[in-house]
Chains A and B, each alone.
Chain A
């Protein structure tokens, strides 16, 4: 069975990377008593697919992972989400867990975009932000370099908004997350002249290709 889990990654778990998160899932499933399916071969590993790597330091509000389980007879004492939550380490919050079609395409190939919320930690950092955002969005292109390769950040920004009123000092953005066309919040922050270490970033949503097609 293929179990799709939507989860939040918060607290001290913000500081663990993608590979370590794999391990966290393996151990969480084992503690929950859910029998993970393993790959065949000389180095068998549990079948776990995380939709999109979350950069170190970001929290995630609605991340997605698929776990493959050996058939359990379907009579778990409690819903999967409960079982997993009681076995999860601090900072891992299960939002939803439901079986999906075994033959569905790999999660990583399905992510189209990601939504982020950025909190600026410096007091008063929100002032003038709206104008900066408008100025940035007005530009036709934002040429940058990543690992020595030139690219244009502008088309990767699907939306960008500065919070107003009570939400002053925050930014909302949706960035492309397709293979080979991924925008990163720290790059947008750099364009806005905001030092990354003065922010806290949360990925609030992953947008899948289906979500877009079904709209």
Chain B
């Protein structure tokens, strides 16, 4: 591998020939460059999309600050180079390197890939290749870093099992330390002599065995999968005694203080902001929502902690925006107290405060008024469905009256643009249910016209439902592309008002996400074949090539419909069943059945439905009594 100095010399010659060279040079405020030789263990966190997107990833910021707080370890970062830079790097023999020290990624002990969504998979393969590291885990030996992935998509790790040495299931801030402690006990030996290869290979296996014993770490090579004749899974069994039958996710019982020394990019990024997570988890139980299931239980930070962190982070970064993040801002218990405090603290400082995922009720408009100096940017609401039947099925029940009353408040208090998010393709949805979206949009816009006249605007975003693993809808099929198209055509035909702007997800994008989200181990070969045939940046419209994927399935003799369009048997073993988010499969199935009956399940803060979190994490709940968690308290054993 090239030395950092050699990499820098070669970079200097190519940087001015690529777009936005600022993506590739590091040197950002608050980035941490430690003395390479002063630490024992070196980790690089990789976000497999371009810098502009990856730089604001909160997960990487958290892990970066956790690792760099340790005197015995360092963390650096890498992102996917855009295609122009990748071409230059390959032409000039520059391997993927970390921005801080310019060390090649191959020099690190641990590579941590962030995989929050599935369309990053081919990029992850491409980055390993660009780093000069074998893409397949089985081809790596102790000369190579341990390659680990984490993030929401890893709750079904199987499609990527062939490329990762290990996966972190669940929250990373504690387990990262256990991983570093473990890796540090297996120092790498940079020996090229082939006769020693056996000894060394043995060592890597020992390290992987040690990793497999860390709670929340899944090492796929230690599991065997057998299939039934119909292609579904028969069993998933550990093949070494050290590997647990089921890998239970990691969950941080008490959230550590939020990171505040955010890395400040020198170039324009997608999000230029301080992000403070006010709450983790969600109690609403919308049945389509994977995040709401896998991030349980709800844990809330205190107002004081959030405000102090926000103040500290704004001072250390100078960012012009503060985002208060959670899955459902309105459900944060002291939300009013929080926005009042934030409003007072930052008033007149030209700071934009954003508060995503507000409930559809007029109180939300009051909340927004407290934090907004101006009405720019629009107001976003997510009804997800427009007919009463659909709202019962997905367990997000907001009556039309409430939506219209909220819209009236929003327009009348000066927001000219309202954004509504819907999802089509919910289980059992018909064209009438989609027609209801049209009706609702027209009535909402009419509310706007009543107060603002022609100035009132409505943006309508319509995505397509994908039955994600670990949700009550995991037994359901994705709609066929022609069904999706018919529904989208209806919306395009009927939502013709000049003041309404409609956006939708292309059916091909939905299908790819569905295949990858619901795939099994055999999907890994499809991903590999697609990448070999040029698939990368699948989340980018201009790069995504559907035909490459369908031919990759064909080449592996697999039917994409088997993964996307097949309703699952009640007793089917899912590829992700040995990965547990602590929510019981029976609970999900009961909830699915209730959905078919049109029964709503209320917010579980009001009533515990025994999803499985408490028995799995009873000791944690006992250790943190009171209101910090939103689950009921558990009695002493």
Chain A residues with CB under 8 Å of chain B are 11-13, 15-17, 19-20, 23-24, 26-31, 33, 36, 38, 42-44, 46, 56-57, 87, 89-91, 121, 196-198, 200
Contacts and interface: CB of A to CB of B under 8 A. Distances in A.
Given A20-B266, A38-B350, A89-B27, 11 more contacts: A12-B22, A15-B22, A23-B268, A30-B314, A31-B315, A31-B316, A31-B317, A56-B16, A89-B29, A197-B13, A200-B12
A30 B318 contact: yes
A174 B267 CA distance: 29
Interface string B313-329: 01111111000000000
Nearest to B29: A89
B28 interface: yes
Contacts of A29: 318
Contacts of B533: none
Interface in B1-39: 12-17, 21-22, 24-29
Contact of A89 (B264, B314, B319): B264
A30 B317 CA distance: 8
Nearest to B25: A12
B16 to A, nearest CB: 4
Nearest to B30: A89
Contacts of B315: 31, 33
B27 A57 contact: no
B401 to A, nearest CB: 34
B352 to A, nearest CB: 11
Contacts of A89: 27-29, 264, 266
B28 A15 contact: no
Contacts of B13: 121, 197-198
B423 to A, nearest CB: 33
B351 to A, nearest CB: 9
Interface of B: 12-17, 21-22, 24-29, 264, 266-268, 272, 314-320, 350, 374, 376
A108 to B, nearest CB: 22
A27 B22 contact: no
B267 A91 contact: no
A26 B14 CA distance: 29
A56 B14 CA distance: 13
Nearest to A89: B29
A46 B314 CA distance: 17
A27 B319 contact: yes
A38 B320 CA distance: 13
A57 B20 CA distance: 11
A38 B318 CA distance: 16
Given A15-B15, A31-B317, A24 B266 contact: yes
A11 B266 CA distance: 12
Contact of A26 (B12, B15, B22, B320): B320
Contact of A90 (B12, B16, B29, B272): B29
B21 A27 contact: no
Nearest to A90: B27
A184 to B, nearest CB: 14
Given A26-B318, A28-B318, A31-B316, A16 B28 contact: no
A38 B350 CA distance: 9
Contacts of A15: 15, 21-22, 24-25, 266
Residue in A12, A23, A26, A29 with the greatest tally of chain B CB atoms within 10 Å:
A12
A87 B318 contact: yes
B79 to A, nearest CB: 15
Residue in A23, A38, A46, A196 with the greatest tally of chain B CB atoms within 10 Å:
A23
A58 B505 CA distance: 42
A16 B316 contact: no
A196 B14 CA distance: 11
Contacts of B320: 26-27, 30
A47 B317 CA distance: 19
A91 B31 CA distance: 13
11 contacts: A27-B320, A28-B318, A31-B317, A33-B315, A42-B374, A44-B350, A57-B15, A57-B16, A89-B264, A90-B29, A198-B13
Nearest to B16: A57
Given A16-B266, A44-B350, A197-B17, A27 B318 contact: yes
Given A26-B320, A44-B350, A11 B21 contact: no
Contact of A31 (B25, B266, B272, B318): B318
Contacts of A196: 16
Contacts of A57: 15-16, 21
B268 A56 contact: no
A27 B27 contact: no
Contacts of A121: 12-13
Given A57-B16, A197-B13, A20 B318 contact: no
Nearest to A57: B16
Contacts of A197: 13-14, 16-17
The 9 closest A-B pairs by CB, nearest first: A12-B27, A27-B318, A30-B318, A89-B29, A12-B25, A31-B318, A15-B21, A57-B16, A16-B22
Contacts of A16: 22, 266-267
Nearest to A28: B318
Contacts of A17: 22, 267
A11 B17 contact: no
Contacts of B29: 27, 89-90
Contacts of B24: 15
Contacts of A30: 314, 318, 320
A69 B37 CA distance: 44
Contacts of B28: 12, 89-90
Given A28-B318, A30-B318, A13 B350 contact: no
